[in-house]
Amino acid sequence: MHRAKGLVTAELGLSEEAVFACRLAISEAVANAFEHGQRDGTFYCRVRVERETGLIRIAVEDRGYGFRWQGLSASMPSPEEEHGRGVHLIRLLMDGVSILSTPEGTCIEMVKVLTGAGG
């Protein structure tokens, strides 16, 4: 996970706050992939970071059995809950989030828009 988070640096044109937000979003997505994305005891997770004109695009993929993300509550779970905050945090931290989840795996794509001040 440290290597994946290391892909996001200020050299991409991000502010210190945007670097923190992207790294935390990656941490949450990779943690979800590790917990839910295993297949037959085998863990696979691929993280891709790309800079495009005006934005940073981050994708985290696993090869798990997928999940029904549409069924997630629209609100953050209560503090008493042990799980269920990852996707909510990612949505709060990033400027755009899309999730594709099938029985062959899940890909969460996150976008951080670069601003004139560095994102």
| pLDDT for the residue 19 | 92
The structure's pTM equals 0.83
Strand partners of residue 23: none
Q: How many CA atoms lie within 13 A of 28 on its CB side?
A: 23
18: exposed, middle or buried (C-beta count within 10 Å: 0-12, 13-18, 19+)? buried
pLDDT in tens, 68-118: 666 666 666 666 666 557 888 899 999 999 999 999 999 999 999 987 644
Q: Which domains does the chain have, with CATH numbers?
A: 2-76+85-113 (3.30.565.10)
